[in-house]
Structure 1
Amino acid sequence: MTRARTTVPDVLAAIRGVHFPAGKDRLVTAARDADAPEEVLRALRGMPPERYADREEVARWVRVDPAADPDTATARRIARAREGGRPGLSLHLREEPRTPIQEEFGR
């Protein structure tokens, strides 16, 4: 059984009619009234119980599956781990393939 995934644009579409600032409960209620899928409601329920100033703030705080939304910091961290980098390792310390010019000059 595969689990359905949601993305930030799905969440933002579900809260399209909300006037901001708005609290978490208001966002969940608006999404439920808009007949949003359960995955969207679950993502909204997972947010901290704060007042959100606008849709961009909601987009920053909503938790979605990183594989479903490749623009999240978590997804970038996962992709970097797959490429061999460790979290917190500076770019200049990572193993990278050498360019042909570096090979030629022995650097």
Structure 2
Amino acid sequence: MARTSVPDVLAAIRDVDFPAGKDRLVAAARAASAPEEVVRALRGMTPERYADREEVAGSVRVDPDPAVDPDAARRTARAREGGRPGFSQHLREEPRTPIQEEFGR
């Protein structure tokens, strides 16, 4: 299986005016006759608006699976938020419950 890289993806979307959504990036890559691996990597990104090429470079999966994973968007969003759920949960700040407020804990 051929692999793609971030420079390959950025070359395929060089004519895109930002901000741009995922669908526009995929369409631009297809219009530029980009390899299918590049299009697949763009399709694996979260469906949001990207402000510039740096955001695309940080969000694109450069080693996608042959079949597009339906949970890829969710995993990408989770990675942006700070990693896997349950990882270092005890170190994260949580709002106090009304009972904790009442008892001063």
Aligned mates of 2:33, 2:5 — CA distance in 1: 16
**Once superposed, what is the RMSD of the aligned Cα atoms?**
1.5
TM-score of the pair, normalised by structure 1 = 0.59
The offset of 1:40, in angstroms, is 0.1
Matches of 1:12 and 1:64 in 2, distance apart?
11
State the number of aligned residues.
Answer: 65
The alpha-carbon deviation at position 22 of structure 1 amounts to: 0.1
User: What's the offset of the Cα at 1:65?
Assistant: 2.0
Percent of paired sites with the same residue: 82
Provide the rounded CA distance (Å) in 2 between the counterparts of 1:32 and 1:7: 16
Structure 1 gaps, min length 5: 67-87, 89-107
1:7-59: CA deviations, max 9, x gaps?
A: 00000000000000000000000000000000000000000000000000000
Partner secondary structure for residue 16 of structure 1:
coil
Moved over 6 A (4+): none
Q: Does 1:34 align with 2:42?
A: no
Tell me, what secondary structure is at the counterpart of 1:5?
A: coil
Aligned position for 1:25: 23
Structure 2: segments with no counterpart, 5+ residues: 65-87, 89-105
CA distance, structure 1, for counterparts of residue 17 and residue 44 of structure 2? 20
Q: TM-score, normalising length from structure 2?
A: 0.60
